[in-house]
Amino acid sequence: MNVLLVALNAKFSHSSLALRYLETYCQREFPQIQALEYNINQNIQEIVADIINRKPDVVGFSCYIWNIELILPIISDLAKVCPETSIILGGPEVSFDVEYWLETYDAIDYLIAGEGEESLLRFLQEYKKSNRQPTAEQLKSVPGLVFRIGDKVVQNGQEPLDLSTIPPIYDGDLSKLENKIVYYETTRGCPFRCAYCLSSVMGQVREFPMDLAKKELRSLAATGVEQVRFVDRTFNYDAKRAFDLIEFMIGLDTGTRFQLEVSGDILTEPILQLLKTAPENRFQFEIGVQSTNESTLKAVHRHSNLKRLAEVVKFLKDETTVRVLLDLISGLPDEGFARFGESFNYVFSLRPDRIHLGFLKLLRGSHLREEAESFGCVYTERAPYEVLYTDCLSYEELQRLKRIDDLLDKYYGSRFERSIEFLCEERSPFEFFNDFAEKWEKSGYHWLNHSLVSLYKILWDFYGEEDSDLLAWLCYDFRVNESRQLTPEWMGGLNNRSRENELIQSNRLSQILPELADLPPREISRKIFVEELSFKKGTEKILFYYSELNRSAQVFRL
């Protein structure tokens, strides 16, 4: 029997965790089952043709809010060309409102609601037994299956899976995953009940065996995957288990980075002290702050100790090499534009490596979707069901926040650190980014692509008249981060390398950087830059040293 499992990933570099589970779980009994991974940027008709050419008996699709609108036209065409092929959909997007899917889309033959491993296996067993014509009684025996009997939609009850029965999914030859972003989980479920999240309706936390997790993580690290992203909803819900896994990952000899979603305010002291021993670039922690507004947090059934969170983030930044990403969600109940600005300023004050502004999605099955009318929330009819406006946040204000998020991606946490800090000295960070977003839109820059150098120039054009020191800080940031480019003339760059030659010929350089003493002058000149930065208080001569070990320059004042 020819069974295909299909995923449309968000990016080429991503891999589908769900397909690996399903394929591995069913493979012993159905060795010909095959997982196909496409991405949402590929041509839909090419995907349809590829599936049809494989002549499947059954095709299963893994459905999420980011791919469902592409999967629907695929299955429509597939059903027309291959009416004998059975089409089955699963995943979080179709696990709720199941009647809607089967009543609206004739191309869907079956749904699997909830966990799919055992359900898919049992379905395929009955399907094969019946020579592709399973009876109603056979279908009723499959947990989580949703199907039609005449005009009636039937939904079977779900059965939680014993996670220890799932075979290893990262075993054998993993060479295709080299340099990929791989998703992984050591638990399912979440101890918290945030109203906007589907994990709140998944029941209690269940754990995969610890020895299996360590074995697979070791295999992924040895393969050389670029990043392992844990999808555990709260990695550190069990402090002892989290400590054990983090200690294990620290001990791996690998360049792989591990990204964990953690609850920052419950990170324990032993874990924090352990993280001081982690190698550079080993961990990235994503921490969902979401809001600092007490009434908003109460409305979404969320609790946060903001004082403790601030202490933890400061420790991670000052004492460890962990990269910290902080998330906010706009469009939550009882948080208007100005109040969201307070949440923004709090997060900015913690100086994380990255700030991400999310926009509320009213997910099928979530409590907040059911309560949308209570806070005047209007959202898009189709996935991803993103908020359009609420009773305290207008559509125009949400669009402004999207522009701010775009500017954060361009300017925060990377190449403009000192310049942005300088521009936020006389106003709050939210006031600055709101003003910046307004200027950006009025100039029509949101319609254009921008080179890296042009981003520096735009900042100077918008704010140079406010304070001439900005030019020096822009030059400073440019030189720290752009080792291969000459300083633009509008920044005051000489570009004749006279300052570098003067320093190389003196004894001063060997005192500052003795490791360069035995190198020929030409090679030294490729590793250093000297700039004279003019501030109102005076001129500073600064040496920027670009070693192969660091992506950004080391800075020495001369």
Residues 6 or more apart from 332 whose CB is under 8 A from it? 196, 290, 291, 293, 296, 299, 300, 360
The pLDDT assigned to 495 comes to 63
Question: Is 421 a domain residue?
Answer: no
Q: Which is nearest to 302 in space by CA: 275, 277, 266, 272?
A: 266
206 in the same domain as 72: no
Question: Is 414 a domain residue?
Answer: no
395 in the same domain as 537: no
Residue that terminates a domain, selected from 407, 429, 453 = 407
193 in the same domain as 132: no
Question: Is 420 a domain residue?
Answer: no
Domain that holds residue 377: 168-407
Which residue in the block uniquely carries the two structure tokens 């962990």? 322
Question: Is 81 a domain residue?
Answer: yes
The pLDDT assigned to 549 comes to 66
Residue that terminates a domain, selected from 375, 407, 439 = 407
**CATH code of the domain covering residue 290:** 3.80.30.20
3-state secondary structure of 339: helix
387 in the same domain as 281: yes
364 in the same domain as 334: yes
Per the structure, how many domains does the chain have? 3
Round to whole Å and give the CA distance between 435 and 547. 37
pLDDT tens digits along 302-359: 999 999 999 999 999 999 999 999 999 999 999 999 999 999 999 999 999 999 999 9
Compute the half-sphere exposure of residue 101: CA atoms within 13 Å on the CB side of its CA.
Answer: 29
The pLDDT assigned to 496 comes to 66
392 in the same domain as 313: yes
114 in the same domain as 231: no
77 in the same domain as 104: yes
Question: Is 451 a domain residue?
Answer: no
Question: Is 85 a domain residue?
Answer: yes
- Give pLDDT < 50 ranges for the chain: none
The pLDDT assigned to 483 comes to 78
132 in the same domain as 185: no
Question: Is 40 a domain residue?
Answer: yes
302 in the same domain as 215: yes
Residue that terminates a domain, selected from 377, 407, 437 = 407
3-state secondary structure of 369: helix
Question: What average pLDDT is seen over the chain?
Answer: 95
493 in the same domain as 382: no
**CATH code of the domain covering residue 89:** 3.40.50.2300
Strand partners, 532: 541
173 in the same domain as 148: no
Q: 368 and 203 in contact (C-beta within 8 Å)?
A: no
pTM: 0.94
Question: Is 432 a domain residue?
Answer: no
The pLDDT assigned to 552 comes to 86
Q: 132 and 57 in contact (C-beta within 8 Å)?
A: yes
